[in-house]
Chains A and B, each alone.
Chain A
Amino acid sequence: MMEILEGSHAVAEAVKRCRPQVIAAYPITPQTHIVEALASMVADCDLDADYICVESEFSALSACLGASAAGSRVYSATTSQGLALMFEVCFNVAGMRQPIVMTIANRAMGAPLNIWNDQQDSISLRDAGWMQFYAEDNQEANDLHYIAYKVAENHDVLLPAMVCFDGFILTHTYEPVDIPTQEEVDAFLPAYQPVNILDAKNPMSLGMYATPEYYTEFRYEIEEAMKRARKVFAEVGAEFGETFGRDYSGLIEGYRLEDADVALVAMGSICGTVKDAVDEMREDGKKVGLLKIRSFRPFPSEEVKAALAGVSTVAVLDKNISIGQKGAVALEVRDALYGSSGAEVLDYIIALGGRDVRKRDIRAVVDLAEKGIGDQFYGLRTEVL
């Protein structure tokens, strides 16, 4: 049913329909409205979950780990400093192969303290073994939750997933969102079928320590599972498309890329602005397109390579920076194209800490890229430096 909802509430409605049995979360802007909405649903018995009011994000994810290991479907949400506080547990959850789904309302990392959007928080956890899916709008944020659970819980995957959507820009924006019915979601996402759980009738040890003789093989298994997740995501996304009419079979999405000379690459809500700018530039006769990355982990290298095959200039918009190197998305794209493409890949660090991006900024990036000027912070206010 189509409803006009705040992004956070659209996500909360999606989570409710995924029927988590245990929720543990700690409030932090701009994630707060999600967990408040879920708490209300539990208080009204609209959602049959145990809501654990933990004392920190560190405990939130730890409690989720325990609940998942004991056989329940679980949920959490956080952002920025909260995600950073979970760092240690994030690796643990992945290492123990618990298919937890967590929403990240993307926000900049302090210092300086900044509550607005960029994607530094989740990007900084890219190596933890979690899948990371980025939503362009609130419809996608909603839909990715059903898909994330289904992919995470697939027995060929069994990895946790972050559904990332931009703080404020999406969390606090009202948009029409088509929310499926509970029956529809139940049919798409059946009850959780855990493997290897804590059960007194069948004792086993979880999270033991492993010597150099075994540790590498555990890491290898996670990596292989992450690779399998590409195919599983595509299948689940296609199935979602057949059921709900919105196709997510692609880990990437191309927009007017077919004959493009210049391709912009981006993740998250900025893609909406880029699409509009691309339309305008196309009217001006510029052959520009967008490659939207939907899944950052697993990273769809093959798909990126294929999509950018005919492009001569690639301009990556990075809402993060790996300090001392470049933006993380640009590094991935360069790696994907390495050895197969003559395209120039230029990186633009943009929209950090919530700075606004308009269509004219996208056009300016394309102008720079066409001149071969890149690998820089875009729109630096040199007068305040």
Chain B
Amino acid sequence: MDQESELFQCGHRACGGCGPALAAKLILKGTGPNTIVVASTGCMEVFSTPYPETAWGVPWIHSLFENAAAVASGIESSLKKQGRDENVVCICGDGATFDIGMLCISGAFERGHDITYICYDNEAYMNTGIQRSGATPYDANTTTTPVGKCSTGNPRPKKDLPAILNSHGASYVATASMAYPNDLIRKVKRAMEIHGPNYIQVHTPCCTGWGFDGSQTMNIGRLAVETGLWVNYEMVNGELEHVRKVGSRKSVDEYLQVQKRFRHLFRPKKNEEEIAKIQAIADHNAEVFGVDRK
């Protein structure tokens, strides 16, 4: 696709190497132009729409941090009433999705609106300066879960949001990573075909919040999958249908040590105990989803 016909255009204000910005571009390749995007307050909203500029080549609306799913419900209902047929797609951060927006998401899914909700998961509140969210991984250093004399960072593992939305009866729930672009585009296209509420959670490394060089975004994204800390899978009507397998899983060290948010686990000395807990999370993921290629 040439630059002219990109639906998510360049010139926005994201950091160089921003995972969410790349995800937005890929997501719109999956949705196509016949789409209305609903956003929540967050990094992507701010970097893509400073008035009077916009990076969005499709109709786009932002209302608040927590109500995208409800706004989307209204849009879908309105289109239906007018006999119009456009895709309604929410593209929201993990804070908006996992935490403050849960009420609206739960309501929209329970009502069965024909919307696709895509969470770009950069694993913290980046727009407000790297505070933890329900998607922040165990032991990550954020400004509200700072590392200290009595703290090794975020004390809780990631909330399992796909499972929660599966239990709402969503017909399609998938996870993806912007480091696997074709897979992401395919999943978005698939969601567009399926009626009812769908959910896709996209792993989107954030160079600023995680502390790595902007040239490494793809590598970090891939490492998350190769270690088993992030699993790419698809669930259709509650059944696991497809999982990206990994040949020989890398140790979590490889992923953790290249990010400043985990630096405290390696300096001043390596914290074997905590790293073992994170390795256990990866191993658990691998077992539950059958990640290891036997």
Contact = CB atoms under 8 A, between A and B. Distances in A.
A205 B75 contact: no
Contacts of A70: 36, 74-75, 78-79, 82, 84
A272 interface: no
A55 B106 contact: yes
A56 interface: yes
A200 B51 contact: no
Choose among A49, A74, A206 the residue with the greatest number of B CB atoms under 10 Å from its CB.
Answer: A206
A349 B146 CA distance: 50
Nearest to B86: A200
Interface string B66-83: 110011111111111110
B247 to A, nearest CB: 42
Nearest to B34: A200
Choose among B73, B74, B79, B110 the residue with the greatest number of A CB atoms under 10 Å from its CB.
Answer: B74
B90 to A, nearest CB: 10
A83 interface: no
Contacts of B104: 55, 58-59, 62
Nearest to B55: A205
A52 interface: yes
Interface stretch (B56-64, B201-209, B214-222): B56-64
Contact of A92 (B58, B63, B75, B84): B63
Contacts of B45: 208-209
Interface in A61-106: 62-72, 74, 88-89, 92, 96
Contacts of A63: 70-71, 73-74, 77
A110 B81 CA distance: 37
Given A56-B107, A59-B104, A62-B67, A200 B73 contact: no
A364 to B, nearest CB: 46
A200 B60 contact: no
B111 interface: yes
Contact of A54 (B51, B57, B78, B107): B107
Interface string B102-114: 0110111011000
Nearest to B107: A55
Nearest to B33: A200
Contacts of B80: 50
B82 A214 contact: no
A96 to B, nearest CB: 7
A52 B77 contact: yes
Contacts of B74: 22, 24, 52, 62-70, 74
A205 B73 contact: no
Nearest to B71: A66
Given A55-B107, A56-B103, A68-B74, A205 B56 contact: yes
A125 to B, nearest CB: 16
Nearest to A66: B74
Interface in B19-61: 33-36, 38, 45-46, 49-52, 54, 56-61
Given A199-B86, A203-B57, A207-B63, 10 more contacts: A50-B80, A62-B104, A66-B78, A68-B78, A89-B67, A200-B36, A203-B59, A206-B60, A208-B62, A210-B51
Task: State the 5 A-B residue pairs at the shortest beta-carbon distance, nearest first.
Answer: A66-B74, A55-B107, A62-B70, A63-B74, A67-B74
